[in-house]
Structures are given as C-alpha cells and as structure tokens.
Structure 1
Amino acid sequence: MRLLSNRFAKALLAVTVLGCATNVSAAPAKASSNLVLQQPNVSLTLANQLIDATMQACHAEGKSAVVAVVDRAGNLIALQRDDNVGPHNTDAAIRKAFTALSTKTPSRTLANNARANPDSSNLNTVDDLLLIGGGVPLKFGDDVIGAIAAGGAGGAVQDESCALKGIEKVLPQKTR
C-alpha cells in the first residue's frame, strides 16, 4: 500500500508540475501576442515579378535600366541591371527605392517638393535619401510594404514610368 501511495504521490506531483509549467509557458505567449507585429512585406517572389515587369516596360520603350526592390524595412530584396547601364545607376536605384519607402512618397514628388519648399530643401543632406525621380512606394491595401525604383532609363520621368508600369502589371489597383 505504501508503494502504491508513493507512486501515486509522485505521479500527482509530476502532473501538477507539468500543469504549472504549461500555464507558465502559455501565459507569456498569450500576454505578448499583441506585442509581436505581423505586417505584410515584399517577398522575393513578388520582388522578382515586379523587377521583370518593370524591365519589360523599359525594354518596350527601347530603354535599358537597373531596377531595385526594397522591403518594408529598407533592405534590398532584389536587383537586376541591364548590361549597358552605368554602374552609378545601381546605387541610385537602391537609394531611390529607399527614399520612396522611407518617405512613403514617389521620389520624383519628393524631389519636386524639396525644390519648391525651402523647409524641405535640407532633405538632400540626408545620406540615404536620393531626391531624383524613379522610386515608387509599394502598397498593399493601406500598408507600404516596400518600394521599387528604376534607374538609367533616360531620366526621372522615364525611370518612374517604367516602375509604375511594372507595379500596375503585378499589383493591380484592387490590391493597392
């Protein structure tokens, strides 16, 4: 009898400890679930589709380009450059995409605003921003999930046009 009650006591202790451990480990997860953000973001697949569509748009107009896509944190996700595009355009495309993401504004609009508004003109002193057209924020619903930029296609208007055509092909208006 004593052996049975000893085993029963140990089993009951084990179940109690497991029950407490389960409650302790479940409590932080439940309490912290609202502390963990879940946000839409640009995937590599989406970035590559956007780049392909943007390059096709540039090529359809007889232009070569470099196209960069950054995610919602400003990290470079994908980049593609035509053979005959100047090397400075690669850095420019990345910085224009970052600028569009960071300001949630097309980089050409930001550049125009900075020229027209003396209070905004100092934006050209921020190292990572590039106030040249070609960068466009990527939206999914109300969220800015990243940005795309083209460079080397013949100027700010042409760069932006290629990017906008790529976006329209891959992310139709209903998702943006």
Structure 2
Amino acid sequence: MIKTLLATACALVVVGGTARAELLTEKNIPSSLAVEIAVNAVQACAADKFNVTAAVVDRAGVLRALVRADNAGPHTVEAARAKAFTSASSRTPTSKMAENVAKNPAAAELVNIEGFLVLAGGVPIKAGDVTIGAIGVGGAPGGNLDEACAAAAIEKAAGQLK
C-alpha cells in the first residue's frame, strides 16, 4: 500500500513537472508571403517560356499557396507540392537530396518515404537560419530550371525574410 502511494506521488510529480514546460515559439511563413513567392516563381519561369506550377508550404509541409501557369501540365500541381513538402520536411534543397540518393545507396531509401519527391525543384525558405517553409516548382524542362525559378522567387522576397 505504501509502495503504491509512493509510486502515485512520484508519477504526479513527474506529470506536474511537465505541465510547467515552456511553450515553443516558431517562425512560419505567412500566407501573403507564400502567395507572393509562388507568383514570383511562376513569373520567373514564364520569362524563360516555361509553364510551371509553384507550391509553397509552411514549416510543417502544409500547403499555403499554389499558382499554376495557364498552360502548365496537370501533373505539375502534385509535383510542385511534393517537392515543396520534401524540402520543408528535410530542410534541404531537393536537388541536394537527389545527389545524395545517386551517390549513397543508404540514402536511396529516401524515395520510399510517403509524400517525398526526390527531384530538383524544391528549396527551403529561410528567415535567417530558420526554415519557415519551402517552395516547389514543377514543369520546366529540367529540375535545375525549376530550382532556378524557385531560387529567384526567394531572392526577390529576401527583404521580407528577416
């Protein structure tokens, strides 16, 4: 009986101690900036005559903005979203992940993670050193070109990412 009471008291102390933990404060991309970056990426690719879709997700990989050029293929919608999700989840450009998969047999299993698309075109969006979201672009005739449009869009918004 005494052991039971002692164990219960210890459990209450442990539970009570965790209730006083401090709350987390996280930076995240606002929807207005997500839309702006997506529009800028589609425009950057349009300047090179590429019809793409750009998706911007928040730090958790949840879609915040999606912009599809008038003549972008229907497959580009999911490709852009998956690239953005992959980049936000890994906090890494998807081109770097694709390189790692090609060079490292152990990294090849990354392609089997549900929702991941390990193709170039996904880029983290950072405020300082903190990843607040990611952009994925799909539809240009090469992932490197998708990534260039994504990078141009982030660069255009750099003044707001402080």
TM tier relative to shorter chain: 0.7 to 0.9
Counterpart in the other structure of 1:106: 93
SS in 2 for 1:91: helix
Distance 1:103 1:154 in 2: 24
Q: 1:133 aligns with which of 96, 113, 120?
A: 120
Shift of 1:35: 2.3
Q: Distance in 2 between matches of 1:91 and 1:52?
A: 17
- Structure 1 residue 96 and structure 2 residue 89: aligned? no
The partner residue of 1:143 within 126, 130, 134 is: 130
Say whether 1:170 aligns with 2:157. Answer: yes
In the other structure, the counterpart of 2:65 is: 78
2:155 is matched by which residue type in structure 1?
Answer: E
Instruction: Tell me the amino acid that sits aligned with residue 36 of structure 2.
Output: Q
Larger radius of gyration: 1
Inter-partner Cα distance in structure 2 for 1:54 and 1:80: 9
Amino acid of the structure 1 residue aligned with 2:145:
Q
State the TM-score, normalizing by the size of structure 2: 0.84
Distance 2:159 2:145 in 1: 20
Consecutive unaligned residues in structure 1, runs of 5 or more? 1-30
Q: Which residue of 2 aligns with 1:36?
A: 23
In 1, Cα distance between equivalents of 2:160 and 2:69: 28
Extract unaligned runs of 5+ from structure 2.
1-18
Q: Secondary structure, in 3 states, of the residue corresponding to 2:105?
A: coil
CA offsets, 1:63-109, max 9 Å, x none?
Answer: 11100000011100010111221111111111100111111110011
2: CA distance, partners of 1:162 / 1:156: 10
Identity %: 44
Aligned length: 145
SS at match of 1:119: helix
1:166, 1:122 → 2: CA distance? 30
- 1:63 corresponds to: 50
